[in-house]
Every structure is written in structure tokens, then in C-alpha cells.
Structure 1
Amino acid sequence: MTVRPPQTKPSTPKLSEVAKFVHVPPSGVSTGWPQVRDKLAELGIRFRWWQVAIARIVLSKNAAGKYTTTIGGVGLSIPRQVGKTFLVGALVFALCLLRPGITAIWSAHRTRTAEETFKKMQGFARRKAIKPFISKVVLGSGEESIEFINGSRIMFGARADGFGRGFDEVDIVIYDEAQILPQSALDDMIPATNQCRQPEGALMFFMGTPPQEKEINAGKAEVFKLMRDSAKQKDEDTAWIEFGADDDYVPTPLPAPLTERDWEQIAKANPSYPDDTPVESILRMRKKLGDASFLLEGAGVWPEIVKQFSPINGALWAENADVGPAPRVRPTGIGVDMSHARAISVGGCWLETESAHVEELWAGFDERACIEWIVQAAGRRTPVMIDSLSPANSMIPVLKARGVKVLPGSANDMSKGCGLVASETEASTLTHADQKSVNDAREGARKRAIGKAGGWGYDRSDPSVEIQPLVAVTLARVAASIKGPKKTDPMAGKVVASW
């Protein structure tokens, strides 16, 4: 028996009552929506109630007349087949007509998505009420744009093809497919908005569906994820609107038909259903995407990614906490790392026949004191690894001169160490001392690719995240593997200093 989808009752609720999560910057005292609404009416475009609510948030202004989101941007986590391209496209067209000389950049991750968006916006440009204001539509790979008679323009392209680099004086940026937006791509484009010429400031849209696990693990979803986290922490410069089904929703697996509960969840996730998105569109999307992707892209459900986002499994890491060796047992290997702020961490690793144990042994800012400690703790036989690209490399020549067996670490060494720590954590053959500094570093660590064969290391690009304790014990694990197991030499004493 096929269950027909229930019909939703007409109503005009608040956006916060229908959307799964809404965060609005508290500084808003007015909105530019009325002027945009009137322009859209002239163009024969009318929004649904939920689109009006989003537009009011997007165009909200503070007491100084600036957009409240000009610093943090507007995040839209919305499933497919909802009409977010129509919503944002209509807003951008209206603003381009209202503000002569606007430059807007619309970037997607994939070339196909960029081309499809460009085709839809060409449809806008051909509308009878809009066409008289269009100067020309530029076709051609990598040069697609819509240019207005008043000097405004909208340019389209794919980030995968390098689109977005080298622009300046940009007033509006749309990051489509924001669930595939690594920090490096953002770094290429954000400086372009620094020369925005509009008195209200620049507008930045980040819109997409919840990211897939592979995108999370590869670090491609970091911008969208961190933006969402910032909104949940009530970031005063960021707006976030998220539509989605309940977190515990599991769609009925194919090929079985969708049930009444499925349709209820779809109605929660998709505010355009059934008025603008028919049943057939939902069923077509479900069939094409499959069960797993439909949950993300069709129902808007974010995966639980806090543990997955760190390259070291958090649950298994917690389970592997254990006491280490006796205080006077010299470590098999030592690792040293230093943060952007020159906070130093020294890690140690002890190898047994089939297991390893790591701990942070020394921490502080005093480089001279750290060197003295390492000289005493390592002696002339225990290998000490320091990444050649770390700020801690300034200690390498001094330690060598003092007779310490220093191993300058390479990218390959880092990749090997990260692989060892991750795999041995999963196999429960690596234990640690449950130290807060190392635990916090594990939680804040992010993955970056090393080479093209699947190797990876910890991302050091964010100076606000102190990962040096994790890097230090990881390097210690590599150093220990070079020397081998079974060490019983006495050491001067195991010390953990505070700063």
C-alpha cells in the first residue's frame, strides 16, 4: 500500500518555528528588505513567507547602517529542491539594479553546478521586466557573466577551476556548495571584499547541504562546519538558517515507498514542499541520491561530526587512557614542537613489544630551560625528533652541539607519525596519560594532506588552536620507532611544567 504524503496546513509561522536552527546577529535594528521587496515587485517576483523571513535577516542592518553579517556572513544549510538558488539569485538581481556598479561573484565547487546556476540566472535576465536593464550576457568557459546597464555585474565560475582568485572591489560573494569549501579556497576570495564600495558593506552567502563524511575527513567542509559552530555559540557577526529533519530521522530504505513519517520529516526539512516542490521531485531525488545521500541532501540532517572532524578518533582515544611507565624510565623516543605563540611541548613515547605509550613531559615558553631539560632527559642515546618546519627547529643546532641525538623531522615523518597514532588508537595498542593539554590538542586538530598518496598531517594554519602537545607526542612516536623497544635506562625525573 502506497502512503500518500500528507498535505500541510496553510499558515504563516515564524521562521524559528519552522526552521531547525536560526541565529540572527543581535545588532540588527533595521533591514533593507522593504526597498528590495518593492524592486522585486516591479520585476514580477514574489517571495513565499519563509523567503521573506530569510531576506529580512540577510539584509538586516545595525545602528550604523552596515549589514550585520558583513563580517561573518550568512549561512544557509538547506536541502536540495527547496529553491535557495532562486531566493539568493532574486536578491542579488534586485541589489544589482538598486545599486549601480555592484560586483557579485557566484562560485560553486563543481563546474557543472556553476554552469547550471548560470543558465538559471540567464533565465532571470531574459524576463520581460528585467531584460531592458541588461547590457549583455557573456558566454564562454571561465568568463560567464551577466552585465547590467548601470555597471553592475554578476560573474559565475567553479572553484575547482581556480575561479575567484585575483578579484578586487567585490561587493557580494556567493559560495554555492559551501559544504565543499576548504579554508584555502576562502583565503583566495575573502580579500576581494575588503575593497567593497557599498556603504552597507559586503554581503557573503555560504549556502549548501550538510557535508558528507568523506568531505569532513578530507577537511573540505571546515568553513561550513566552523561557521555553523560559531552560530551555535551566538557569534554576533554571523547569521545561520538551517532547515532539516529531526536528528534521529532515518529514511525508509529503498525500494520501499516513503511512509507517512517520512513525508512529515520531508515537510520539516523542505519549506517549499508541497507548494513549490511537488511529490515527484522528492521521489526523483530520493531515487537518484540513494539512502545515505538523501538523508544529507534531501532531508538536511547534519551528521555527528565532532569526533569525526578530528583525525584521531575521540571515543577510542578516551578509552585508551592508562598509566605510563615508572617515573625514572627513560622514554624510547622524544618529540618537540612549538606553537605560533612559541609555546613549547615535549612529548615522550615508550615502546613495549606490542604497544606504545605517549605523554607530554615538559611544557612552557622558556626555550633555554627546555633545552636543558631535554639534554638531561635524552642523554646521548635517546632520539629527539623536531619537525624541520616547526618554530621549534631553532633548538636543533643547540641540542646537536650539546650531544643530543636530534632527528630533523620531514613531511614524510609527520605523515608516518600521524598514521601510527591514528591506526594504533583504533587498534587500542597506543595508550596515553589522559592529560588535558594533549586531549584538547587532539580535539582541536584538523587534517591536511601530505603528498598525493593519502598521507596527512596536522593542520597548523589556525594559530588559535594549540596542537603542539599532540604534535610532540606524535613525533615522539616516530622517534621511538627508529630506536626500537625495551628501554630501562634511568632518567633525571619526569617533569611537567606549567605556564
Structure 2
Amino acid sequence: MKTSTRRKKSNRSRKFLLRSTARYVIIPKNITTTGWPRIRQTAKAMGVVFDPWQEAVGKLIYAKTSDGLYASGVGGVVLSLPRQVGKTFLLGHAVFADCISSDRPLNVIWTAHHSRTSDETFKSMSNLADTKTVSPYVASVRKANGQQEIRFTNGSRIMFGAREQGFGRGFDAVDEIVFDEAQILTERALDAMVPTTNASPNPLILFIGTPPTPTDPSEVFTHKRQDALAGNVDDTLYVEFSADEDAKPDDRKQWAKANPSYPTRTGDAAILRMLRNLGPDSFRREGLGVWDRQAVTKCAIDADQWERATVPTKPDKPGETITAFALDMPPDRSALAIGACVKYADGTAHIELAEYRDTKTEGMAWAVEWLKERWPRTNAVAIDAMSPALTLLTDLQAAHIKVTVMQTRDTTQACGRLLDMLRDGTLTHLPDADQPQLGTFAHKVITRAVGKGGAFAWQRPSSDIDISPGVACTLALQAAHTTKRRPGRQTKAWH
């Protein structure tokens, strides 16, 4: 009982120590110990001494539960930091020390979005590897582009690369992943790299970034922050250093609040340089760590407009109709959705979720036969070029079904069209009770900016929400408005 009490007090002390400097500290549950003392001792032998706030963060990063697994091993470690805070000093030295002192060889991936950032981190880490106290532990440093790696004498290694160049795919038995520039991390990139840790007995994933800009593909980083602040996760460490939302850019007290390394390790000149060269909004994010208010997103679809668009059955209107279908799947490929749209002669349209099936029990082949049966009465079938459902393209073509593969421009237009028609009262759908999966989409979906011209695309609010039914209906709506195929009247094509 006494041991348990001491552990609880230790957990609280770590959290409260950080609370004196960090804005948010949300720790995972059931922490009983930490691997930090081993890492700190090794770092000390390397000549590295951490500041108190770095010690506190390190203890929580490597915190473990009673079974010896990382407390953040499922949800990950999420750090939102301004620039010039000493991120590479803390994490770089910690990862080095972990690799050197581990009782088994570790495979570590350090990945940034841009190759320039990855190259700079590798250069910094290479310099560390060349120091007198560290070099005895280093077997080799490979500097070839695309194959940058530091290998240690005990078999551990750190591999560096840029996600924009496809780095990280195909690795296996990865023990730690550091997602640098996590504010520019897409779910597609995450889905490609996280499975590389499946063979590790105790993996750890770190997401490190600054507050994203409105045009950054920041769904992963934003969702993790939202889930942590909402109290929706208990297996994630979230630490944020930031100034007050209304902070004045030249207020040095706010600099200290945002940056725990100021003014001891980071001086006035470094922050003034950012202040002078960045715009006001960029400095708030980059220099002060302040998140935009719109980063706390709300559903993209107006609930009242969606409710007004509800009809008990699909309308039966006079004149020629155009029918289109579209397919989509969630990133984990667990389900396949077929969305349907009928466009009427008066310019209105109706969308429905025609089919939604679990691929684990029913597979995907059924969709080809389903569409083949309806193709003679169908104007268009569409799939997003980036959708997992695109794997059906060859089979659909073999069934003599012409598929429209929609590119980014088409999908952004489709999202805008759906919102415009809901606003104008020219789009209908069945009650949510009849199509709960489509209803979930309508009440949960958010958007992400695409480019800088105001275009946007649908985005999941969290990894456990499947928006593929709504994506499929959105693409079907776009296909019905753009197709030139005219096989005839298709009022009841999907029945």
C-alpha cells in the first residue's frame, strides 16, 4: 500500500511540475514507473544535462504501466511546442540514450514531412554521434539521401527520412516512431507507417509539432489534441506549451509562458528573429504556440439544413432522371459503402446510402455484381482516386462498367456542391433512422482545407468515425451532375 501511494504521488508530482510551465498536461492512466532514469543516466554519461521541464516531460514520455509497457503505447505521445524550444535537444538525446542503453536492439524511425527538416535533424544527430563521449557507441553513420541512418554497436539504429518522399513504408518491427512536423501529418501517411510497429513488443509513437496553419493537412495532430482536451483518451500523453490566446507578440512574459527554454537556452535574438520575419498569425503559432480558434472544429453540415432535407421516401418526379453511384471505404478497409444519387429534371437531387457492408464478413466482390446488374440503367459510377475502394477499379472495368476516377479538384467541388444544395433546399435524403451510417456522417464530419483558394474536403473528426457513406453519396452527387452518359430513365435504378 505504501509503494502504491508513493507511485501515485510521483505521478502527481510529474504532472504538477509541468503544470507550472505547460498550458496543458494530460497524462495516461495507470502509470507505475518510468524508463527515464536509465535514459537520463546514459545521457549524463554523454555529457548531457536536461532542464527540469525536460526531465518532467521525459519521465512522462517513457512512463510505464505495471506490465512494463509504455503507458502511452496505444494513443502515443503528443507534444505541441513552439519553435526554438529545444525539441531536438530533448528528444534527440533521449532517443540516442534509449538506443545505446536498451537491453535489446531498437529500430527507430525519425520522420518529418519535408526533406529539409529531416536533413537538418539528421545533421544535428550526426554531429552528436561524432562527439567524443558518444562515438564509442556508434558503429556507422550512413549519409546517402534516402538511406540516412545512425547504427549503434549494440545493433540499435535510427533511420531518417521525409514522408513527402514515401519514407517509412515497408519497414517492420519498428520500436519507436518520431513524427516530426506532426502538424503536417495525414491519416493516409499515419495508416501507412503505424503498422510497422506491430511486431515490436513495446512500441512508442511520438507526434511533435507546432499549431497548424489553416491549409496544413493536420487532421491527425488536431484530432489527437481535441481528444486529449475533451478527456476522450486515457492512453495518450498530451503536453502543450503556449502563450495566452490574447498574448501580445512583443510581451516577453508571454514568450516565457510559451517557451520554457526562454531566456536561459533560447535568447531574445532567436525569438525576435521570428517576430521580425514572420507574419502576426504565423508568429502566434510558430513563436508562441497558440492554436487558431478554428482548430477546434465543428461539424461541417448545418444540422437544421440536414433536417429540412429529410424526406420519407425518394421523390418520384416527372422528366428525365440521371442516376449515379460511387464507392468509398474507411482507411482500415473495414467496410464498403455505395452511395447513390438521382438528379431530377428540375435541378434537384436525392442521395441515399444504397449499400453498406462489413468487408471482414462479406468481402468486396459483391459490389461488382451489384453494380453490374444496375449498370444498363446507370449514368455514372465514381471512385475517389485516393480511396481504398480504387482496388475494385480493374474488376469493375472487367465487368464493362465505366468508372469515373475523381481527382482532388472533383472531390472538392463535390463537397461544395453538397453544402450548396443543402443550403438552397435542392437536395433530399432519407431519415437518419433509416440510414444511421449516413446520419453519422452528416452530424460528425468536419472539413480540411485543400490548397489556398478556399477549397475543402471531408475529414473524419476522429479515427473511430467512418465517413465513407457520406463520401460515397457526395461523389455520387458530383457524378450525377457531370456525367454525359445517357442510357435512359433510371428513377429506380438502385432498387
1:398-417 to structure 2, matched below 5 A, reads 398-400=373-375, 404-409=377-382, 410-412=404-406, 416=410
Matched, 1:229 2:226: yes
State the shift of 1:307 in Å. Answer: 7.9
- What does residue 126 of structure 1 align with? 130
Matched, 1:301 2:301: no
Distance 1:176 1:361 in 2: 39
Distance 2:205 2:75 in 1: 8
State the shift of 1:244 in Å. Answer: 1.6
Distance 1:98 1:47 in 2: 17
TM-score (ref. length: structure 1): 0.72
- What does residue 174 of structure 1 align with? 178
Matched, 1:61 2:77: no
Q: 1:212 to 1:188 in 2, by over 3 A?
A: same
Matched, 1:271 2:269: no
State the shift of 1:76 in Å. Answer: 1.0
326-335 or 38-47: bigger deviation: 326-335
Which of 160, 163, 166 pairs up with 1:159?
163
Q: 1:142 to 1:395 in 2, by over 3 A?
A: closer
State the shift of 1:164 in Å. Answer: 1.8
The amino acid of 1:297's aligned partner reads: E
Which of 238, 241, 250 pairs up with 1:240?
238
- What does residue 81 of structure 2 align with? 78
Distance 1:284 1:142 in 2: 32
- What does residue 106 of structure 1 align with? 110
1:322-341 to structure 2, matched below 5 A, reads 322=308, 329-330=316-317, 332-336=321-325, 341=335
Distance 2:366 2:18 in 1: 49
SS in 2 for 1:14: helix
- What does residue 212 of structure 1 align with? 213
1:171, 1:203 within 8 Å by CA — same for their partners in 2?
yes
1:448, 1:458 within 8 Å by CA — same for their partners in 2?
no
Matched, 1:41 2:44: yes
Matched, 1:422 2:416: yes
Deviations 1:167-208 (A, max 9, x none): 233222211111112233233332332233xx6x12221111
Q: 1:474 to 1:391 in 2, by over 3 A?
A: farther
Deviations 1:421-459 (A, max 9, x none): 40573595455569655563143366799xxx9998767
Q: 1:274 to 1:291 in 2, by over 3 A?
A: same
Larger radius of gyration: 1
The amino acid of 1:245's aligned partner reads: A
Cα RMSD over matched residues?
4.1
SS in 1 for 2:38: helix
Matched, 1:397 2:394: no
Distance 1:405 1:104 in 2: 51
Which of 278, 291, 306 pairs up with 1:289?
278
Distance 1:79 1:320 in 2: 39
Distance 1:170 1:361 in 2: 39
State the shift of 1:49 in Å. Answer: 1.5
1:358, 1:477 within 8 Å by CA — same for their partners in 2?
no
Q: 1:53 to 1:432 in 2, by over 3 A?
A: farther
The amino acid of 1:123's aligned partner reads: N
Q: 1:324 to 1:132 in 2, by over 3 A?
A: closer
SS in 2 for 1:63: coil
Q: 1:170 to 1:282 in 2, by over 3 A?
A: same
Q: 1:214 to 1:454 in 2, by over 3 A?
A: closer
Size of the aligned set, in residue pairs, is 429
Distance 1:363 1:176 in 2: 39
2:301, 2:419 within 8 Å by CA — same for their partners in 1?
no
Matched, 1:91 2:80: no
SS in 1 for 2:237: strand
SS in 1 for 2:172: coil
TM-score (ref. length: structure 2): 0.73
- What does residue 6 of structure 2 align with? none
- What does residue 202 of structure 1 align with? 203
1:269, 1:300 within 8 Å by CA — same for their partners in 2?
yes
Deviations 1:247-282 (A, max 9, x none): x43655xxxxx2xxx333332221111221111111
- What does residue 191 of structure 2 align with? 187
State the shift of 1:343 in Å. Answer: 6.5
1:331-480 to structure 2, matched below 5 A, reads 332-336=321-325, 341=335, 346-349=340-343, 352=346, 356=348, 358=350, 360=352, 392-400=367-375, 404-409=377-382, 410-412=404-406, 416=410, 419-423=413-417, 425=419, 428-429=423-424, 431-432=426-427, 436=432, 438=438, 440-442=440-442, 443-444=444-445, 464-469=465-470, 471-472=472-473, 474-476=475-477, 478-479=479-480
SS in 2 for 1:76: strand
Deviations 1:75-112 (A, max 9, x none): 11111010111110111111112115222221111121
Deviations 1:283-306 (A, max 9, x none): 101222222211222121222446
List runs of 5+ in structure 1 lacking aligned partners: 1-11, 253-257, 367-388, 484-488
Distance 1:444 1:57 in 2: 33
Percent identity reads: 33
Distance 2:366 2:445 in 1: 19
SS in 2 for 1:150: coil
- What does residue 28 of structure 2 align with? 25
1:357, 1:430 within 8 Å by CA — same for their partners in 2?
no
2:418, 2:477 within 8 Å by CA — same for their partners in 1?
no
